[in-house]
Amino acid sequence: MKKYLIAGLLVWLPLTITVWVLTSVLGVLDGLFAWMLSASQAVLPEAARPPLEMLKQIPGLGVLVMLVLLLLTGVFAANIVGQWWLGQGSRMLHRIPIVKSIYSSVKQVSDTLFSSSGNAFREAVLVQYPRQGSWTIAFVTGKPGGEAATHLHGDYLSLYVPTTPNPTSGFFLMVPRADVIALAMSVDEALKYVISMGVVAPPSAADAAPRGPTSNSNLE
């Protein structure tokens, strides 16, 4: 009985979690679409409000509209005119108290994480944490900057150490490059390894020998 229950759990658990994540994302997109319709009703004449209410009842319309909106925004932002207008809007938001602090922080993080020229999560490494002799997987996010860098003498790396099974929380470390071991596994493989708590090891892990403390240019 226990054997069959575990076998059934292994079949349904990944599917259930996948459906739950997708449903959550779709729910956020639908909620954003409903909010936009509600905001539009406040400025439109009374006669235009019933059709907007009908749009809210169409299943999946919010997701489709938000995806099209994201696509059009990306096309707009990729040309010179769009970049100019976005720059003007960004400068305006930076002049508003409180808003500028939140907006600038979120923009810096998102630009670092999603920019094709950024360094965030480009390399998986091994680092000793939380004590000497205990190793964990971390991701290189760049090099220390600002005031912190002036107090660090030598070649240091900025690392993000994710928690398991939820990698969206973790710890930020600044460690000497010599104390870091570069890994051959991809970032996706490393994330699977972390999320599975070490159960799902990358196929190449058994074949790839440790390279030792790295001086690899990939960590530049």
Residue-wise pLDDT tens digits, 13-22? 878 888 888 8
22 vs 162, residue with greater confidence: 162
pTM for the predicted model, two decimal places: 0.53
CB-CB neighbours of 182 under 10 Å? 19
142 vs 208, residue with greater confidence: 142
Residue-wise pLDDT tens digits, 187-199? 888 888 888 888 8
Q: CA 113, CA 86: separation in Å to the nearest integer? A: 19
Q: What is the pLDDT of residue 157?
A: 92
Contact 164, 197 (CB under 8 A): yes
* 2-11, 48-57, 65-74, 200-209: range with lowest mean pLDDT: 200-209
Q: What is the pLDDT of residue 217?
A: 46
Looking up tokens 């104390």 gives 179
Mean pLDDT of 177-181: 93
For residue 130, whether the previous peptide bond is cis, meaning omega lies within 30 degrees of 0, is yes
Domain extent listing, the chain: 2-78, 91-118, 124-219
